[in-house]
């Protein structure tokens, strides 16, 4: 309460006193026009009431009226629901990426908290004026030559296109894009991406006619295609590696369909493969592929445009790598794969429909069986695997539909079990267990119909129980307990209901077992009073509401006993704690008893309470009575506030000399806010003779005390003083 109120005093004082320098203006919404560079979602910001919250951060190409390149926004600041806000941002995204201008409204620039956008609209001529509606006639294209927005484009075509009278076509040239190192602005590079001709004046449908070339960003030729008047490839097509004149593929097209020989090359110029087309269809027959040294790499055949019959793969030295059989483009029958040594790597069986059928076996280079699986018409029946030393690695069983059923086990290479899970028709059902490599159990999780039900347990590598959790229908329900790995004693217990903390979270000393803290939760949030002990064994309590800590009190029993015995300081601390925990009746009882004994802190606290109407009915007379009494007893914050009230004439006649008297008393006690006010008073000559050197002295003290506005005032004042 105190911190916020004193900040208000300083702000209001500046608003009144600084009016002599320039007229005071109330913060008003500001409209401006700008381009949005980017949006970062869910960033931390500060609300007008100085609370942290999440908002989206908007980055602008130029500084906003708030003298920054960023502003924040959220659904609430726009007056929208979350869904409406999300849809709005989605609808504006293309225009943002296209560097369009927006008409924006910010709530304020100079009040508390982060400035928030309250309105965003795409510019229209009526909103922004014609100068903000001018758009480039350039055509922005992606890698597939499809139109896109500027910031997602890879190439640009400048408009209008030049017309070739001789060819009676328009010449089209695309340029690669790059980002400016200084500004990050997307701009044309010096490298052509493609060039050719079109029969469209604006290239709207990317109609290509005649010769069309594209280039790598290095400048090397990428491909050359020929097109007929219907935008279909027609004639020779050549593709190149990113190296000068090094051809990668050649193929001839006829009316958009491949026709004749199709040759693929290696980078060294050797032929990788040749295929033949007729009317767009690959011809029947053998199709070999070669390594760049001319050695056969693959051999297969086509029938009716699909792979058919035996197929072979070879290592670079010519040794067999794999044998397969195709039927209508699908691998069928027995397939065999080999190591480069000639030893069998794997043997796989499929039926005539290409489904796994029979055994799938894999071997090591030494000829040892590493894995074996069995299938029936595509459905798995079993699976086993082994380490190279012969020890089992994995084992699974399946039902007739190919679903895991029964035990699924894993082992370490030393032969000891690693894990075991029980399944019922592909659903976990039974205990899932894990072990450490030393043989000690690591964990057990009980499942029923795919959901955790029962006590889950976890042990360390030495075999000591470290935690247990109770589950019901896959949610934590009951106690979650943790044990010390050092002593084996219980160190934490948390109660859960419906997967959220509900009830006490207790922490214990790992040697004595003594309770260190007990913290209540309701539906996952801290709620109620925590009892805990510090390192010296002194008890303290904290109160919470909606997961937020409200207050803390050390040695509550001792404080309460002293308060009952009439100790005014104890009464003040106990009352303050009860007040901040919203136990207002108890709070007012103790604060009043303390104030009756002239405790300055209690008097000021009650003054604030009656001024704000917190926990009591607002009462300006009691506010002033308690405030003046606290000030007279030397409470520096009370003195500052009394001085402020005299300064502006609130609740009493305006009296600048009296204001100066009280604020100086507060400053004499080291109150940094009071030093700030005195600095402004000496600067402006309010209630004192104007003295810039004294103003500088007090403002310097305020800066050292952490008053942020004092620094700006001091910088403004420094050139005027010695």
**Beta bridge mates, 361:** 347, 372
Q: At what angle do helices 656-668 and 636-648 cross, to 10 degrees?
A: 160
Confidence class for position 209, pLDDT limits 50, 70, 90 = very high
3-state SS, residue 613: coil
Instruction: Give the sheet arrangement for strand 70-73, strand by strand.
Output: 70-73, 52-60, 30-46, 101-106, 117-122
Which tens digits make up the pLDDT trace of 174-192? Answer: 999 998 877 778 889 999 9
Compute the distance between CA of residue 712 and CA of residue 596 in angstroms, rounded to an integer.
42
- Kindly tell me if the per-residue pLDDT of 16 is higher than 70: no
Q: Count Cβ neighbours within 10 Å for each residue of 112-129 and write b for 16 or more, e otherwise.
A: ebbbbbbbbeebeeeebe
| pLDDT for the residue 97 | 85
**Beta bridge mates, 274:** 263
3-state SS, residue 719: helix
Average pLDDT over residues 706-716: 88
Confidence class for position 603, pLDDT limits 50, 70, 90 = very high
Backbone angles phi, psi at 80, to 5 degrees: -120, 160
The answer to whether 103 touches 35, Cβ cutoff 8 Å, is: no
| pLDDT for the residue 24 | 38
Query: Tokens 């040749």 sit at which residue?
Result: 274
Is there a domain that residue 34 lies in? yes
- Kindly tell me if the per-residue pLDDT of 653 is higher than 80: yes
| pLDDT for the residue 721 | 65
Which tens digits make up the pLDDT trace of 533-588? Answer: 998 899 999 999 999 999 999 999 999 999 999 999 999 999 999 999 999 999 99
Q: Domain count of the chain?
A: 2
Average pLDDT over residues 337-345: 97
Pure H helices in 141-257 = none
Residue 555: which of 573, 529, 543 has the closest Cα? 573
- Kindly tell me if the per-residue pLDDT of 264 is higher than 90: yes
Is there a domain that residue 67 lies in? yes
Compute the distance between CA of residue 265 and CA of residue 274 in angstroms, rounded to an integer.
9
Q: What percent of the chain has pLDDT over 70?
A: 95
DSSP 18: G
Of 73, 104, 132, the last residue of a domain is 132
**Secondary structure element (H or E) that encloses residue 461, with its range:** none
Name the most confidently modeled range: 124-138, 426-440, 611-625: 426-440
- Kindly tell me if the per-residue pLDDT of 12 is higher than 60: no
Of 132, 163, 179, the last residue of a domain is 132
Compute the distance between CA of residue 269 and CA of residue 27 in angstroms, rounded to an integer.
73
Is there a domain that residue 251 lies in? no
Is there a domain that residue 128 lies in? yes
Q: How far is CA 537 from the centre of its chain?
A: 41
Compute the distance between CA of residue 201 and CA of residue 204 in angstroms, rounded to an integer.
8
CATH number for 103: 2.40.50
- Kindly tell me if the per-residue pLDDT of 19 is higher than 60: no
Mean pLDDT, the chain, integer: 91
- Kindly tell me if the per-residue pLDDT of 605 is higher than 50: yes
CATH number for 680: 1.25.40.10
Q: Are strands 257-258 and 417-424 parallel, antiparallel or unpaired?
A: unpaired
Number of helices (H) and strands (E), helices first, in the chain?
A: 14, 46
| pLDDT for the residue 715 | 87
Average pLDDT over residues 698-706: 93
Compute the distance between CA of residue 461 and CA of residue 416 in angstroms, rounded to an integer.
14
Of 110, 132, 154, the last residue of a domain is 132
Is there a domain that residue 120 lies in? yes
| pLDDT for the residue 195 | 97
Confidence class for position 650, pLDDT limits 50, 70, 90 = confident
Q: How far is CA 684 from the centre of its chain?
A: 49
| pLDDT for the residue 6 | 40
Confidence class for position 62, pLDDT limits 50, 70, 90 = confident
- Kindly tell me if the per-residue pLDDT of 696 is higher than 50: yes
Q: The tokens of 321 are what?
A: 């790598």
| pLDDT for the residue 231 | 92
Confidence class for position 7, pLDDT limits 50, 70, 90 = very low
- Kindly tell me if the per-residue pLDDT of 136 is higher than 60: yes
Is there a domain that residue 498 lies in? no
Is there a domain that residue 459 lies in? no
Confidence class for position 649, pLDDT limits 50, 70, 90 = confident
The answer to whether 563 touches 574, Cβ cutoff 8 Å, is: yes
Q: The tokens of 310 are what?
A: 């035996």
What is the domain extent for residue 98? Answer: 28-132
Q: The tokens of 487 are what?
A: 């002593």
Candidate from 4-8, 171-175, 422-426, 460-464 with smallest mean pLDDT: 4-8
Which tens digits make up the pLDDT trace of 468-492? Answer: 999 999 999 999 999 999 999 999 9
Q: The tokens of 243 are what?
A: 């190296």
| Omega before residue 392 within 30° of 0, cis | no
| pLDDT for the residue 648 | 87
| Omega before residue 160 within 30° of 0, cis | yes
Confidence class for position 170, pLDDT limits 50, 70, 90 = very high
- Kindly tell me if the per-residue pLDDT of 5 is higher than 70: no
| pLDDT for the residue 610 | 94
| pLDDT for the residue 43 | 87
- Kindly tell me if the per-residue pLDDT of 110 is higher than 80: no
Is there a domain that residue 200 lies in? no
The answer to whether 482 touches 490, Cβ cutoff 8 Å, is: yes
């Amino acid at each position: 309460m105190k911190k916020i109120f004193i900040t208000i005093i300083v702000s209001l004082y500046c608003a009144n006193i600084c009016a002599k320098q320039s007229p005071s203006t109330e913060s008003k919404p500001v409209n401006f026009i700008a381009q949005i560079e980017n949006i970062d979602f869910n960033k931390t910001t500060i609300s007008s009431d100085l609370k942290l919250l999440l908002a989206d951060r908007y980055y602008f190409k130029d500084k906003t009226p708030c003298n920054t390149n960023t502003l924040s926004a959220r659904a609430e600041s726009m007056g929208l629901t979350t869904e409406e806000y999300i849809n709005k941002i989605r609808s504006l995204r293309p225009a943002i990426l296209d560097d369009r201008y927006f008409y924006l409204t910010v709530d304020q620039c100079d009040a508390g908290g982060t400035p928030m956008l309250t309105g965003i609209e795409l510019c229209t001529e009526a909103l922004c004026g014609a100068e903000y509606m001018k758009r480039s006639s350039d055509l922005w294209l992606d890698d597939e030559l499809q139109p896109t927005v500027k910031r997602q484009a890879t190439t640009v075509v400048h408009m209008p296109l030049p017309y070739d009278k001789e060819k009676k076509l328009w010449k089209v040239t695309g340029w690669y894009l790059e980002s400016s190192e200084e500004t990050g602005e997307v701009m044309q590079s010096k490298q052509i991406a493609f060039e050719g001709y079109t029969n469209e004046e604006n290239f709207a449908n990317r109609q290509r006619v005649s010769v069309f070339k594209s280039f790598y960003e290095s400048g090397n030729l990428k491909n050359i295609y020929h097109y007929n008047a219907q935008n279909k490839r027609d004639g020779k097509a050549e593709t190149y590696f990113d190296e000068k004149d090094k051809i990668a593929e050649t193929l001839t097209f006829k009316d958009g369909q491949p026709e004749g020989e199709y040759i693929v090359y290696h980078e060294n110029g050797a032929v990788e493969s040749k295929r033949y087309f007729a009317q767009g269809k690959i011809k029947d027959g053998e199709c070999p592929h070669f390594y760049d040294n001319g050695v056969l790499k693959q051999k297969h055949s086509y029938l009716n445009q699909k792979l058919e019959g035996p197929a072979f793969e070879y290592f670079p030295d010519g040794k067999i790598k794999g044998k397969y059989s195709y039927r209508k483009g699908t691998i069928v029958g027995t397939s065999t794969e080999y190591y480069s040594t000639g030893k069998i790597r794997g043997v796989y069986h499929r039926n005539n429909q290409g489904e796994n059928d029979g055994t799938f076996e894999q071997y090591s280079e030494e000829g040892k069986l590493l894995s074996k699986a069995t299938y029936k018409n595509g459905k798995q029946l079993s699976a086993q695997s082994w380490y190279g030393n012969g020890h089992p690695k994995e084992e699974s069983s399946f039902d007739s539909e190919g679903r895991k059923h029964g035990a699924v086990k894993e082992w370490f290479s030393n032969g000891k079990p690693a894990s075991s899970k029980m399944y019922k028709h592909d659903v976990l059902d039974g205990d899932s267990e894990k072990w450490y490599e030393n043989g000690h159990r690591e964990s057990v999780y009980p499942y029923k119909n795919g959901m955790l039900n029962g006590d889950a347990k976890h042990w360390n590598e030495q075999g000591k129980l470290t935690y247990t959790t109770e589950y019901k229908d896959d949610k934590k329900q009951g106690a979650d307990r943790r044990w010390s790995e050092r002593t084996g004693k219980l160190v934490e217990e948390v109660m859960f209901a419906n997967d959220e903390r509900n009830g006490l979270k207790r922490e214990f000393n790992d040697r004595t077992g003594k309770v260190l803290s007990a913290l209540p939760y309701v539906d996952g949030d801290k709620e109620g009073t925590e009892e805990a002990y510090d390192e010296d064994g002194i008890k303290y309590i904290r109160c919470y509401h909606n997961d937020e800590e409200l207050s803390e009190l050390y040695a509550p029993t001792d404080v309460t006993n002293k308060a009952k015995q009439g100790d005014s300081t104890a009464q003040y601390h106990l009352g303050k704690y009860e007040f901040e925990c919203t136990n207002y009746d108890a709070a007012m009882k103790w604060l009043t008893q303390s104030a009756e004994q002239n405790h300055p802190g209690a008097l000021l606290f009650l003054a604030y309470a009656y001024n704000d109407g917190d926990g009591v009915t607002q009462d300006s007379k009691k506010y002033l009575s308690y405030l003046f009494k606290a000030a007279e007893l030397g409470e520096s914050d009370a003195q500052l506030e009394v001085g402020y009230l005299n300064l502006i004439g609130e609740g009493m006649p305006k009296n600048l000399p009296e204001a100066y008297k009280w604020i100086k008393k507060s400053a004499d006690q080291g109150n940094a806010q009071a030093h700030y006010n005195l600095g402004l008073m000496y600067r402006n000559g309010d209630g004192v003779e104007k003295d810039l050197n004294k103003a500088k002295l007090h403002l310097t003290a305020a800066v050292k005390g952490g008053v942020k506005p004092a620094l700006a005032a001091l910088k403004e004042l420094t050139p005027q003083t010695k």
